[in-house]
Amino acid sequence: MNKKGSISRISILPFLNLYKLGIFETLHAKGPCENRESSSPRKCETTRASQPKEQPADTDRAAGGDAPPIKICRCRSPDSSCSAGDRGKTGAGVTGSRGIAVCRPKEENLPAGSVNPGLLRHIHNTARYRIPQCFEGGSISVKQSSSGNWVLGHSLSFSSVSPGGYKLMLSYANKKKPSAMPYFVMEAAPGGQLSCEMRVGPTSGTRATVMAQIADAELYSFESIIDAYFNRFTASIIAVNREFIALHYLQAVTDTLSLGAEVVARGHSTEVSSASGAGRWASGDHALSATLGNRGLDLCYARDIKPFLTVAAMLEVGFAVRRAVATLAYEWHTQDWTVRASADSDGLVGATLQKAIGGTKAQLGCAISALLNHPNDKFRLGFAITAAIV
């Protein structure tokens, strides 16, 4: 946000997000949701994975391609946090639709029917979760559970293109009931960088989330989200720093069709405030979702070819930046490993492999990442190991 210079385009593996996978379970490869009932794209509601793409220097990831540029903090890797303002390369997506993929247990104590339609910012998850979360360099992370609900973790990363080093992680979650509120996740580095996320449930039908990043004794980012679940519809209020506030609404018209809308108001640049409509159709093994507004068009389609194979196609068109990006992706998973790969019209080809190694006293997992940038003739390779002491 207010550091000079440019940051590396390829980030290391976001350890905070690995740490949250499956509510702090060991990194493994049992598909996008362990508790899903079938392979239908409609069954799994997760937050979308980070883009395995290199962002152009002139792209405003914090608020969309047609918004004024926002300075970015160099103290952290660019994709190391869930930014609610990330709208993708062209700025065509709805607020929060490019958040980090975190697979959490199904929420309990929510109003009947609130799972359908879910939240508007998750409308494209079925397709976008298939995009691999690529990283560069090497990393080792270890976490150990205490007798209570606290989990302590350590990570060490090495990278030639982004900041690395040691990080301390601390989390709180109800082990007997992982979906219960509250939960808390914090990541700290010796240099004074700190990022944290806290989620609470004020009532049975509401959820409040706060995310903050601190570095050099300054608050670089502060995001707050309030979600309200009702029978057959949901609503959200998202505020990012002092830049903008977004209002979301999504209504389940039928069991297969959902319609919604987003309104974004900006404090400093009212001329780039926006409004968009959204729709999703899901039936069996198919899911089609789209958002259309004055910013652009975001279209996604996903289909389960086999119980272990899902393919997805995505198209985002930014009207203001006059740019379009098309992406093809797939996910192949078994009980012990998951492969995700994607290729887009910008010439970026990425893939990740996650494998559960197992163990007696420690549950081990590994991940391998590869990213090829054809236009720049660059190749990035990453390898990560996680261990959960039991």
Report phi then psi at 15, rounded to 5: -65, -35
3-state DSSP call for residue 278? strand
pLDDT value at position 170? 92
* Between residues 206 and 7, the one the model is more confident about: 206
Q: What is the pLDDT of residues 96-150, one digit of tens each?
A: 777 654 444 455 566 555 567 889 999 999 899 999 999 999 999 998 877 778 8
Decide: pTM greater than 0.85: no
Where do the domains of the chain lie?
15-389
Provide the token pair at 283: 């039936």
Averaged confidence pLDDT in the chain = 76
Q: Judge whether residue 73 has pLDDT over 50.
A: no
Estimate to the nearest angstrom the gap between the alpha carbon of 174 and the chain centroid. 22
Q: What is the pLDDT of residues 238-279, one digit of tens each?
A: 998 888 899 999 999 998 999 999 999 887 766 668 899 999
Q: What is the pLDDT of residues 302-337, one digit of tens each?
A: 999 988 999 999 999 999 888 999 999 999 998 889
Report phi then psi at 16, rounded to 5: -60, -35
* Between residues 7 and 172, the one the model is more confident about: 172
pLDDT value at position 124? 92
* 375 pLDDT tier (thresholds 50, 70, 90): very high
Q: Which of 32-36, 126-130, 205-209, 295-299 has the lowest mean pLDDT?
A: 32-36
Report phi then psi at 128, rounded to 5: -70, -20
pLDDT value at position 162? 76
pLDDT value at position 51? 37
The architecture that CATH gives domain 15-389 is Beta Barrel (2.40)
Q: Which of 30-39, 206-215, 226-235, 348-357 has the lowest mean pLDDT?
A: 30-39
Residue 90 CB-density burial (10 A; 0-12 exposed, 13-18 middle, 19+ buried) = buried
What is the helix (H) or strand (E) element at residue 350, kind and residue range? strand 348-358
Torsion, CA 141, CA 103, CA 135, CA 126, rounded to 10: 170
Q: What is the pLDDT of residues 202-235, one digit of tens each?
A: 888 899 999 999 988 888 889 999 999 998 899 9
pLDDT value at position 231? 87
Q: Judge whether residue 60 has pLDDT over 90.
A: no
* Between residues 9 and 319, the one the model is more confident about: 319
pLDDT value at position 87? 65
Provide the token pair at 243: 């830049």
Report phi then psi at 67, rounded to 5: -100, 160
For residue 270, what is the DSSP state?
G
* 25 pLDDT tier (thresholds 50, 70, 90): very low
H helix runs in 23-145, sequence order: 125-128
* 283 pLDDT tier (thresholds 50, 70, 90): confident
pLDDT value at position 271? 61
